Structures are given as C-alpha cells and as structure tokens.
C-alpha cells in the first residue's frame, strides 16, 4: 500500500487480493496520497502492479477521477484485467449517492458497467447490492443484495449471477428479465450470517456450483450448493443442524469447508461427493 514513489499510504489500507498470476494486488485504502487527484475523503479501491510498481485508482469514474463517494468490497479477476467493486457514488452509470451498487471496471478500456442495475425489478425491496466475487476463471460474477445502504454487512436474500463475457445476467426469467435467487439466509447471529457467495469452476459432474447459506429448519442458516440451472445439490442432513458460518468451496468445486456456531465453534471440511446425499 504505497504510491508509485514508494511512499506509504497516509491512511488505513485493508482487504488485499491477488490476481491469479500474482502480478497485481487489489486493496482498499482511506489514504489521500496514493494517486493524484482530489481525494473524496473515503475508502477507495486501488491496484498495485508488482511489475512496474504503479498504483492506480480502480474505483474511478469514466475519466479516471475520484468518485463523489467511497468504494469497498472489491474483487479482481484472474487475469488482472477487470475489477468488481461496491460503490456509493452518484457519478457512475446508474449510480445513486448513498445507495451501494456493484460495478465492473475494465482496466484496459476504462469502461465501467453497473451490473446490479439489471436486477432492480427482481429485488424491489433491496437497499443496494454488494459483495461481488468472480468465478475462478473470471467468466462470472456472483454478488448479493443488502438490507442496509449504510452497512452492506446486513446482506439481503437475493443472490445474483452475472455473465462477464456476455455482459448479461447469467439467469433469465420467463419474462426475459434478469433474475437470481431470493432465498439466502439472513437470520441468525448478529442479524445475519450470510456471506459473500462463492462460485466454483465447472466440475466433473456439474456445470458450476454456487455456494451460499440458506434458511433451513428452525431458521438456522445452512449450506446450499446450487448450479447455474437452479438445481440444488442435496447436503447430508447432519451437516445443517447448527448455524453455518463462513462456508467455502475450492475453485474446482471438489471440497467444502465451514464452521458452525454451537456451544463450541469448530471448523469442518469434506469432499463435495461425500457431503451430498445421493452421490457416492
């Protein structure tokens, strides 16, 4: 978290993420000295190129300027060419000041796309959108609705999938509109234990798997695995008997890990075909 001259950031920096080749590092910072321009007084998203030591503002307007509000909760694709981020700014396509939306920025062309605007009719009660994650190959982006415009940690029930290559929703309803799923779990500890959904690459059995938490018996948040066709992969009943926190799936979709909230918080892991009913 330094500028091109190697001067450290003069504000807090956090949430680092590599691209696949480890040539670039994405991070958030509240610093005002990382790039030139009139700082907006908020957290912004930056990329450090480890080859040429450059630092660029990733959460920038169409002309590369600081936005009129902050940006956080970002991700970078494996090639290091596209960034997804959440912004509260109004000077982005379809932006509304104070309302979080999910954007894609092509770092080569500078083009910025508001991907969450396509889902306004699907999630009419949403207070915004956040928590984008790329699939390992970068072909898809998965994110969620949020219930609080000021605090995206209060995530909503909608899980959305965007086809990055085609520039359209990966899931289209019968009316031709962009849709997703609206059954993510928002109950539990501290007003919600949902997390940023994760997508694997294609597996030997399934097209792709999207992992998130869903409300189950007694309103306990449990694991759900769902493919892009909307088919759920059944999870053994003994797994979803406690509050599930922080589930994860590896890039090839072969292994799951999670921890549970009960008398003692513990971490578990298993192969997907051993976690699921009906599979060997």
The whole-angstrom separation of Cα 266 and Cα 277 is 22
Query: Nearest to residue 275, comparing CAs of 209, 196, 193, 194?
Result: 209
Report the length, in residues, of the chain. Answer: 280
* Residue 100 pLDDT: 97
The whole-angstrom separation of Cα 221 and Cα 224 is 9
The whole-angstrom separation of Cα 100 and Cα 88 is 5
- Confidence band of 209 (pLDDT split at 50, 70, 90): confident
- Confidence band of 188 (pLDDT split at 50, 70, 90): very low
* Residue 24 pLDDT: 96
* Residue 260 pLDDT: 84
The two tokens of residue 214 are 């869903």
**Residue range 104-144, pLDDT digits in tens:** 999 999 999 999 999 989 998 899 999 999 999 999 999 99
CA angle 108, 112, 118 (to 5 degrees): 140
Query: Nearest to residue 200, comparing CAs of 246, 260, 241, 140?
Result: 140
* Residue 217 pLDDT: 63
What is the residue whose two structure tokens read 């003994």? Answer: 238
pTM for the model stands at: 0.91
- In the chain, pLDDT over 70 holds for what percent of residues? 92
Q: What's the burial of 67, exposed, middle or buried (CB within 10 Å: 0-12/13-18/19+)?
A: buried
pLDDT beyond 90 at 7: yes
**Residue range 22-46, pLDDT digits in tens:** 999 999 999 999 999 999 999 999 9
SS3 state of residue 136 = coil
Cβ-based neighbour number of residue 114 at 10 Å: 16
Non-local CB neighbours of 175 within 8 Å, separated by 6+ positions: none
Q: What's the burial of 183, exposed, middle or buried (CB within 10 Å: 0-12/13-18/19+)?
A: middle
Non-local CB neighbours of 24 within 8 Å, separated by 6+ positions: 18, 47, 48, 49, 50, 76, 80
């Amino acid at each position: 978290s330094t500028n091109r001259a190697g001067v450290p950031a003069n504000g807090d920096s956090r949430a680092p993420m590599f691209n696949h080749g480890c040539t670039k590092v994405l991070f958030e910072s509240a610093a005002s000295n990382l790039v030139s321009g009139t700082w907006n007084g908020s957290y912004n998203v930056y990329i450090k190129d480890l080859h040429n030591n450059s630092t660029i503002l990733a959460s920038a307007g169409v002309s590369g300027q600081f936005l009129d509000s902050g940006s956080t909760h970002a991700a970078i694709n494996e090639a290091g060419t596209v960034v997804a981020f959440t912004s509260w700014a109004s000077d982005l396509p379809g932006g509304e000041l104070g309302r979080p939306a999910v954007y894609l920025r092509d770092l080569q062309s500078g083009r910025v796309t508001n991907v969450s605007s396509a889902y306004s009719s699907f999630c009419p009660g949403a207070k915004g959108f956040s928590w984008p994650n790329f699939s390992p190959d970068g072909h898809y982006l998965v994110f969620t609705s949020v219930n609080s415009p000021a605090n995206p940690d209060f995530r909503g029930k909608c899980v959305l999938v965007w086809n990055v290559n085609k520039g359209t929703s990966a899931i289209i309803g019968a009316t031709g509109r962009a849709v997703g799923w609206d059954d993510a779990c928002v109950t539990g500890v501290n007003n919600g234990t949902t997390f940023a959904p994760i997508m694997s690459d294609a597996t030997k059995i399934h097209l792709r798997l999207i992992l998130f938490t869903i409300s189950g018996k007694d309103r306990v948040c449990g694991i759900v695995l769902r493919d892009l066709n909307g088919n759920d992969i059944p999870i053994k009943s003994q797994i979803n008997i406690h509050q599930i926190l922080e589930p994860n799936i590896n890039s090839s979709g072969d292994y799951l890990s999670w921890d549970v909230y009960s008398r003692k918080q513990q971490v578990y892991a298993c192969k997907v075909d051993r976690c699921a009913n009906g599979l060997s």
